[in-house]
Chains A and B, each alone.
Chain A
Amino acid sequence: MQILEIAAEFEKKPHQNLLNGRVIASLFFEPSTRTRLSFESAIQKLGGNVIGFSSAATSSVQKGESLKDTILTVCNYSDLIVMRHPVDGSARFASEVASVPIINAGDGANQHPTQCLLDLFSIKKTQGTLENLEVTFVGDLKYGRTVHSLVIALCQFNTKFHLVSPVELKLPSAVKRHIKEANLQYEQYTDFSEVIPKSDIIYMTRIQRERFPDPLEYEKVKNAYILDNSMLNNAKENCRILHPLPRVNEISINVDDNPKAYYFEQALNGVFVRQALIASILGLK
């Protein structure tokens, strides 16, 4: 919560020379344009310098170097490491061997904590609160890492969950257990038009063809989870549409001009949240 408050300060005044030439390493062992640019923008707005690489192909991993060796080496050159890696648990391991702080910018299918923070920031900013909201998640709830993290985080705030997905892509029971343990309610749907009028937040995600063993099953459901502007006529005034991006076709472009569309501002919020995180970790005010 403190990070969200600091992020709000950076939103008011994004350019602050707190890093004053410090060097931040941005190690992207797999490509992620949005997350990397957002971090690098945050670092530069804080007056820092960025070193690093944007894919494993351009790093010493190509030569067979272990993650431990890469991290130990880069610690010599930087004050903090931002790291994206395709292997689950890689960031936690890196933090155990590193002499400088590590920020996890996504580790395989495991966590993407800064996305979760920017989602929370976006919800708080648009709704004025995180408490007692009705949040609808739509699309791939089974494999969507950002969905899992956000559902678990929202369990702290008395959220009512609406879970809309094809049967094959339902929220995993391990995540639903968090909702149950928090004594909160969730409802599951395969059709989402009926939940739009109840929703304070609609969190859209992309359904990927490769998630379906049978291509015919994908063809059957692919159009059932597309949000079109006409569907938002009965939405609440305060309702906002979020999406972790990139979008393909799950939100029609005619939604973009609707004041309820918030996904591009959501991406901007990522910069403030990452500024807040870097400044807090390095104890800079």
Chain B
Amino acid sequence: MNTKRKELIVSAISNGTVIDHIPADKVFQVIRILDLEESEKEIYFGTNLVSKKYGRKGIIKISEKYFKPSETDKIALVAPTATLIEIRDYEVTRKTTVNIPDSIERIAKCFNPNCITNKEQVPTKFKVIKIDGEIKLACHYCEKNTSQNNMVFN
């Protein structure tokens, strides 16, 4: 029943990926970090949908798109509860939850404007840490922590 209702709200895709269980307030951030605004594929999204597990959730369906590990790392950082469902010919072929990586390289920017990574051509490196339950990126170089709201990805 539940699945049927979801399909009524957000159209099904024949091939591609569904990102489910996104925190309702992070849907637009996920769209932004994955550069989906620039994509020419069919994309459906919904937010504030009812979720048994999380109360409210968001969902994004992207046609003809399967994510690379560097992209799923980005999703995990802003939407750690997200589930990735790969669809091929309307069938679910793979379902995975995202994993928060221990460290990331090159994919995010340091929020500190005076960090060497923002001043010279130095690739970024971060440890992913949790402070009071919030995910933060601890810069390998300037040692400042970038919080979720300030995360900007390359």
For B120, what are the chain A residues with a Cβ–Cβ distance below 8 Å? 66-68, 87, 93
Q: Does B141 contact A (CB under 8 A)?
A: yes
Residue-wise interface mask of B (43-61) relative to A, using a CB-CB cutoff of 8 A (1 in contact, 0 not) = 0000000000000000000
A93 near B114 with CB under 8 A, answer no
Report B150 CB to chain A, min CB distance, Å.
15
In the complex, what distance in Å separates the CA atom of A162 from the CA atom of B116? 34
Bound: A92/B112 CA distance, A: 16
Smallest beta-carbon distance B74→chain A, Å: 22
Interface size of A by Cβ–Cβ distance < 8 Å?
Answer: 16
| Residues of chain A within 8 A of B141, CB atoms compared | 88-90, 92-93
Tell whether B72 is near chain A: CB-to-CB under 8 Å.
Answer: no
A111 at the interface (CB under 8 A from B): yes
Q: Are A67 and B116 in contact (CB under 8 A)?
A: yes
Cα–Cα, bound, A87→B118 (Å): 10
Judged by a CB distance under 8 angstroms, whether B39 is at the interface is no
B-contact bits for A34-75, CB 8 A (1 contact / 0 none):
000000000000000000000000000000001110000000
> In the complex, which residues of chain B have a beta carbon less than 8 angstroms from the beta carbon of A174?
145
Given contacts A66-B120, A66-B121, contact A89 B139 (CB under 8 A): yes
Given A88-B144, A92-B140, A92-B141, check contact A108 B114 (CB 8 Å). yes
> Given the interface contacts A67-B120, A174-B145, does A87 sit within 8 Å of B115 by beta carbon?
yes
Chain B CB within 10 A, most for which of A66, A92, A111, A174: A92
- Cβ B142 vs Cβ A108 within 8 A: yes
List chain B positions with a Cβ less than 8 A from chain A. Answer: 112, 114-117, 119-122, 131, 139-145
